[in-house]
Structure 1
């Protein structure tokens, strides 16, 4: 029997001391703790705690309202007020005016004091609760837990002997026929429930309402059962054939009804009508009997459910559907598609860019069902984006970190839509008048980096970027603060240093491979930039090595 505790306290040391004490006792459940500046009324109403540790400042601010609400609705709740220091006026006010159960001085709180304050109170509460539970309610709760254990035994691969032993020990029988049944795996993972800061009471209410409606689904041939998967909080569905059921009736209709019910109940009781979260249900093949083949089938269901990101719009998917949908995509194909996106970005053709992105997601990634390929593609797109934005000095204007994030999307369609919008905005920036010169510089720099080891002329580079030599020379100096010739020399020297550091090439060979036509000129430029000749650099590098 769990007792719910709410802590509203600003002192981190005291809060952790209380929490650590409570967590040592299996009967205590620390429901929440939050900033003392928040309004506590709504949290108290939602959580309905058995006891509350309350900072005096909060009680001072909300005392009358709290006292009135607790007196009317939660008269059995224990209220413990924490004082900053011994203060007769505060203590007298807390006890006489607010009628709290006890007060504690912050500096004096320890485990012994906490034990003394809580032990007798919770013993009384436990007795009252047990007295209020009828025999019928206890039997119902026991049977519910016992059936849950049996269901877990089935999906974990228990054979007939194991299930039979469990039935005898628990005193209940399996509530469905194993001659013909189907498993389903449905709902939302635990992260979505935590998104709505869902308390245990709200989740239990949601589940029990859902289970009642699923059990009452009308079918002449099938019966349906639902229970909670212990780790994911998703639902395990069992749809079994009735003895007199016709073999030609499709079980799909039952799963469609259950699927819609889960979605409806979630929107009604959890998300407040929002449809941003889409339920996904995976259905097994026809099953018969008990044993490891059941656990194997169930593990396949979990695997299929993990693919919801790729095909969430389908809603309900059978195991065999995955095999029919799956298409292989190689890294080589994905790289080709990513390079097409990069080219389309700089092509200034918006329709080409949009098309290239959709090809990647819809043809390359969607039916690959490959998370690694997806993550690789997102990282690659991020590099393309950052490179383009940084080269053009407007990275800070666009929130790429939030948008290009593997954990930001619930479906691949949403990912594709957001990436299309993000890169469209980026392309508009690149095409704007303010970025026109930056695009030219970017193209010129990329051309130099790719052709530094060849004979490069101003005319050749200007023809590549489609402007006059004089205009290129002017805007390059304007934007970079460096002449085009000096930039080319700097690139070539960096390449030469890499060759000197990592190869056995002679200086004359390095000169040629880094694009210099004259050994003398190479030596002059190198010394100007590095403060030493290429030979001196090579000797120094060899000594360091």
Structure 2
């Protein structure tokens, strides 16, 4: 039903409109009438009509001023003026206020019906538009966290992720070219051995994550990643890159301090916040690595920027091996992945000799990230974190723990290798199809790479690995094969064949043909015309 209000100081005018509407519309309800401008304004407040018939000359506030007041709070209301005064200034003001019709009294039935039908169509369109906008907003609200999580995973997985990050930047409408990363850890009380209850604290972290996410988002523009065990990665976009590193550092620390202050007393834990340097969007993974190093350098709760780390003790944790492990797993290289994992495990075993729980504590974050990488290729792998924790903590023997970790690394690298092999074959197939369809044009490696959405360098490497020859040789082979077929046709001239196989110079075509076939095009054609 469409809700209509009639505002007119003449009772006969109200009754006349009521009669016309009742007789001609079964989808319209007259919800209110008013005899003055003030009464109309007051009744709109609680009745909220879709359409209002408004007289201009009424006691007190006139119709034009009444419309102006109503429009301040109810912009969607559609107005039809019905007046005995045919004055240009009134009509001009009515148009400025968005009035859809200006009817002169006494208006006949036909004009009233036409005006009301027009108003109904406008209301319908606006309601449908509002409905569509709400549905779109709801969809965006549902998909936004998924996109943000994907963006953060791309940051932390150490893969060759420049292209992926730029894709997420477009999907998330991030206009800023730069930014930095904060890695935030929910810090819980340790036991007498300096260890924590990983399973219990993971569950606690899940409970406070929503509060944390909302708080961070309300403080400033940023992207909050998913909860990974008891850590969260946050990307903070920055509009301009500046050479004043101290200024950038102070601003980032101020943001972290504001976050810590807002959450103080609301969480059943402390916060450890590591901050990376400001980077360009394409190199944002480096900021994450710096934030992680800053976080690890903290002995307790607090905030530390990467620039505040004193880089000493080069014999410490083999971070280069951790990075190599992530890169190797992302490439699906089982051998390199296992070798890197063994190096890390050996280091942990040497430093924490006999302290099994400490070794597990260090391995947990590493293997959790490895397992998460498989979620990009196998949704079943991206499972329950608690099960993963329980499985690790139930292993007492260090040899068994090493084998368990190796199985995870090997399994994830194997799945990624299968996916990448399939993806590689698919890309080369698409490249070959493009060449077959466009060999007669002046195509380049860049044209094909743009078509299949990879870099020319990567495509060149893949092409050589998969076909055994480079792009130019493959394209030349296709063109010469087609040229031989055309030369066997007596109706095609050599010049026509040259142009039809992608060559613009007949002399150059002849040289290439002879180099590949051993004879000139003319000689080859002669064997079929003799």
Calculate the TM-score normalised by the size of structure 1.
Answer: 0.28
Calculate the TM-score normalised by the size of structure 2.
Answer: 0.29
